[in-house]
Copies of this chain bind each other. A is one copy, B any other.
Amino acid sequence: MKAEIINVGTELLLGSTLNTNAQFLSQRLAELGEEVYFHTVVGDNRGRLKDALNLALKRSQLIILTGGLGPTQDDLTKEVVCETLNLKLNLNKEVLNEIKRYFNKLHREMSENNIKQAYIPENSIVLKNDIGTAPGVLVNWNDKKIAILPGPPNEMKTMFNKYLSPLIKENYIIKSKTLKTIGISESTLELMIKDFIDSQTNPTIATYVKEGQVDVKITAKEENKENSDDLINDMVEKVEKRIGKYIYSYDDETIEEALYKILKDRGFKIAFCESCTGGLVSGRFTKIPGVSQVFDRGIVTYSNRAKVEELNVKEDTLRKYGAVSEETAIEMAEGLLKKSNVDIALSTTGIAGPDGGSEEKPVGLVYIGVATKEGSHAVKFTFPGNRISIQNRTATMVFDEGRKCLLKLNN
């Protein structure tokens, strides 16, 4: 079914609230087989809301509105929907009793303006609110379905999952698989699979890029699960043949989680020492729950003194090659491996900017050192972007270098 989402609330247009409701509903609707073609955000304004609703009625079969169900005067979603569809709003005694019970339970007086929330459009289905006072509504109008849900994300999500989704389920199934790549640019990758992209129908193929990583998402739509699995597996296989060596994982797994999994599977321990990333590598890694099983320690050696004292980098190396050099990166990683006695130690040293760059060593130059009991090496990178972006890309490549090294290591 063609679907669209209308989020009502001036706070969204002012940017004081992030519109997480649209994302949640989009994900759930896709899972239910609905095709979401538009999101619209409109303020608490009768005329503009009416315009948005009229437009949606012209182009979509399923319209989900959120927000504007509160007890106050500027909450007017139900009223505008009824005006637009020419429906009456009737007091629903059952709903009123629900609201009264809600206040009783909290030992609070129900205020007069909460009565407004018990008015329900004629010929519609009430969607219970298990968390707050405002019930939702599903209106079946001609061949269209119009749902109104409360704005607070908690109430909205519970109501959608429990009461609305069983009423709007489609017969077919949307499934997708994401191939996560690293070390290849979006444009190069796309050229490698251009014929698939050009001829896509079902499944569809799309690429998404984020700081040095490109995801390839393959999505199929079928009436039964087996068919869509077949469609996806077939295309995944074809794409893998072309870009397989850049794929590090599938679906939602991050590069740090991919590294974590290898470490855990093999019973290995890891340690990081960081100069230009300043703790970001350890910080990102420890966002993973349960990481203490594989993560021994991290050292942020921002000063040269700390590199010497903590990691036993030779002062001579720092003098001769500089802190940002292959030699220093390797000595950092080796020093850490030795002192922590882990299976793999990784280091970063580079120029994150904005200052400190030179012709010979520009901002964005980074060395990543890798040390294991079988040997050590460093990899040189030149990253684009500003300080934050260079730090993020460096951290991403640290995880990837760690992963690649472990895959080559004998167990």
Interface residues of A (CB under 8 A from B): 10-20, 22-28, 30, 36-45, 48, 52, 55, 70-74, 102, 105-109, 111-114, 130-132, 152, 154, 158, 185-188, 190-191, 197-198, 206-211, 217, 219, 272, 274, 277-287, 289-292, 295-303, 305-306, 309-310, 339-340, 353-355, 362, 364, 382-389, 391
Residues of B close to A310: CB separation below 8 A: 297, 299
Instruction: Check A24 against B13 for contact (C-beta < 8 Å).
Output: no
What is the total number of copies of this protein in its complex? 2
Taking A15-B22, A70-B186, A278-B282 as known contacts, 9 extra A-B pairs with beta carbons closer than 8 A to each other, sorted by chain A number, are A12-B26, A13-B26, A37-B45, A55-B55, A102-B384, A154-B388, A279-B281, A297-B299, A297-B306
Contact of A279 among B18, B207, B219, B283 (CB under 8 A): B283
Which residues on the B side are within 8 Å of A197 (C-beta)? 72-73
The residues of B that contact A278 with a CB separation of less than 8 Å are 282-283, 285-287, 291, 295, 298
Decide: A198 and B73 in contact? CB cutoff 8 A: yes
Which B-chain residue is minimally distant from A20 (CB atoms)? B18
Contacts of A20 in B (CB 8 A): 18
Q: Which of B72, B283, B296 contacts A190 (CB 8 A)?
A: B72
Contact of A302 among B45, B71, B286 (CB under 8 A): B286
Establish whether residues B15 and A26, one from each chain, have CB atoms under 8 Å apart when the complex forms.
Answer: yes
| CB proximity of A34 to chain B, nearest CB, Å | 11
Complex formed: what's the CA distance from A111 to B189 in Å? 10
The answer to whether A299 and B300 touch (CB under 8 A), given A13-B37, A107-B382, A283-B283, is yes
Kindly list chain B residues whose C-beta atoms are within 8 Å of the C-beta of A283: 277-280, 282-284, 391
Chain B residues closer than 8 Å to A217, beta-carbon distance: 16
Determine if B291 and A302 form an interchain contact, defined as CB atoms under 8 angstroms apart: yes
18 inter-chain pairs at a CB distance below 8 angstroms, sorted by A residue, are A13-B26, A15-B24, A15-B28, A19-B23, A39-B41, A40-B41, A70-B209, A105-B364, A105-B382, A111-B191, A114-B187, A277-B283, A278-B283, A279-B298, A282-B283, A289-B387, A296-B305, A298-B302
